[in-house]
């Protein structure tokens, strides 16, 4: 008796690359024994693209290389090759009318019979696609967004950008179920990050973030925000941040490739900040966001 095949969701026919071969996204297939499917044994990177130009390419490539080293996986391509492949997808998508994009890169350990031990010398599986960027709305930028807090229940190697994202999926669903933008997480009472964003605390005009260690994914905006703070004369510091400090912040900010810099104006149902700015985006956010836009225009390639 033949089983009825499952009904697949409708996917667009946007171009993607699987091991260098260009094909429609809705027709591309990966082996069921790929270790990315069986174990989540892979890493990924996301490149923001504005008007066809990649922003922060070198920084994203450096993080991809670090992730691959941490996972004891080979460097599938050099930076020039990654750039050429990315531009191939960007050109394809721009011909369809999409200019602001996210180029997604995923490298898994490859295909082998299921065994927890890492097989040596497997050719990696390299998948790439470009999808339209969905930035925050003008209303979210003008009014800020609402977030919830939760304990960070994920694994202890959060610094590697791995495809095993179930912990982050579950964390993000906490805020999604409440109709809010992000879940801001704490380990043993100390700020780590949000489900898919880094978190910044502004206190007395100083921007403070958690330290770069194995408990936090070092977002590309770590370096960008530190650079912008230096150029703007805003004090910048990385250190442990308590839950009370987060709740008493003058401003709270999220950062990621799509959010860029985004103000949090409500946390667990309470307005963020003090005085006339309580519950509203603050001056540090406005300065950083404006400087970020100038940097994008000047340094995308």
Q: Which residues are catalytic?
A: 161
Using alpha carbons, list the distances in angstroms from residue 95 to 52, 88, 89, 91, 158. 11, 11, 10, 6, 37
Give the long-range contacts of residues 10-14, CB within 8 A, separation 24 or more: 14/92, 14/93, 14/96, 14/129, 14/130, 14/131
Tokens of 174: 């906490």
Measured CA angle at 301 (ends 16, 12), to 5 deg: 20
Residue 20: how many other CB atoms lie within 10 Å: 12
What span, in angstroms and rounded, lies between the C-alpha atoms of 231 and 291? 9
């Amino acid at each position: 008796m033949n089983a009825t095949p499952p009904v697949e969701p409708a996917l667009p026919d946007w171009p993607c690359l699987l091991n260098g071969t260009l094909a429609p996204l809705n027709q591309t297939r990966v082996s069921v024994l790929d270790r990315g499917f069986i174990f989540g044994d892979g890493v990924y990177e996301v490149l923001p693209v504005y008007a066809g130009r990649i922003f922060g390419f070198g920084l994203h490539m450096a993080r991809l290389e670090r992730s691959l080293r941490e996972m004891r996986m080979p460097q599938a391509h050099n930076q020039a090759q990654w750039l050429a492949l990315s531009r191939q997808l960007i050109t394809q998508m721009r011909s369809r009318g999409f200019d602001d994009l996210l180029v997604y890169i995923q490298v898994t350990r490859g295909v082998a019979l299921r065994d927890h031990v890492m097989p040596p010398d497997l050719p990696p599986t390299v998948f790439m696609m470009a999808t339209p960027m969905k930035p925050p709305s003008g209303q979210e930028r003008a009014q800020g967004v609402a977030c919830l807090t939760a304990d960070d229940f994920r694994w202890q190697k959060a610094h590697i950008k791995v495809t095993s994202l179930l912990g982050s999926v579950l964390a993000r669903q906490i805020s999604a179920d409440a109709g809010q933008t992000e879940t801001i997480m704490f380990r043993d009472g100390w700020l780590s990050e949000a489900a898919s964003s880094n978190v910044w605390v502004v206190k007395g005009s100083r921007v403070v973030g958690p330290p770069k260690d194995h408990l936090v994914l070092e977002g590309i905006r770590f370096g960008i925000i530190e650079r912008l703070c230096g150029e703007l004369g805003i004090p910048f510091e990385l250190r442990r941040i308590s839950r009370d400090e987060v709740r008493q912040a003058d401003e709270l900010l999220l950062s990621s490739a799509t959010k860029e810099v985004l103000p949090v104006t409500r946390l667990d149902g309470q307005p963020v900040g003090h005085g006339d700015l309580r519950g509203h985006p603050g001056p540090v956010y406005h300065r950083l966001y404006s400087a970020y836009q100038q940097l994008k225009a000047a340094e995308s390639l």
